[in-house]
Amino acid sequence: MLEDLAQLKMISGLTSSEFSERLAHGALVDGRWRKHIKGLRERLAKAHEGAASGLLKIGFEIFSEPKAGIFLWARHPEIPNATELAYKAAEQDILLGPGHLFSPDLQTSPWLRFNVAFCEGPAVFAFLQSQRQKP
């Protein structure tokens, strides 16, 4: 049965649909992707600015504010272990990137990597604020 399912997957997933291919072709040929990319960049810049502003308001330090991109690195002086904070956030369906995950030696770190696109709602900042006020 496993072999039959694997074969079915290979047959059905080997190529994309004609509709998807025509859609991609049209976007590239007609130049619609430029407008789309411009809009995405504008939305990302707005999210980036909002995330940085929100983090600074609640006392976080931004490591380095890049001019573009989807990530910000930040830490709070009252939160020494980003891993513990990430576990607590996960319990509330908030995904944070603790710094140790991005270190070759997996050393504990106070730094967090924030995806700015997921910081637009109040939930992330309310959670962070509540955690920094705990003893």
Which residues are CB-neighbours of 80 under 8 A, at least 6 positions away? 110
Give percent of the chain above pLDDT 70: 88
pLDDT tens column, 59-88:
999 998 777 789 999 999 988 889 988 999
pLDDT tens column, 80-118:
889 988 999 999 989 889 988 888 888 888 999 999 998
Number of domains in the chain: 1
DSSP per-residue codes, 2-14:
HHHHHHHHHHHHS
Q: Which residue has the higher pLDDT, 79 or 57?
A: 57
Q: Which domain holds residue 70?
A: 2-132
- What CATH number is attached to the domain comprising 7? 3.90.1150.10
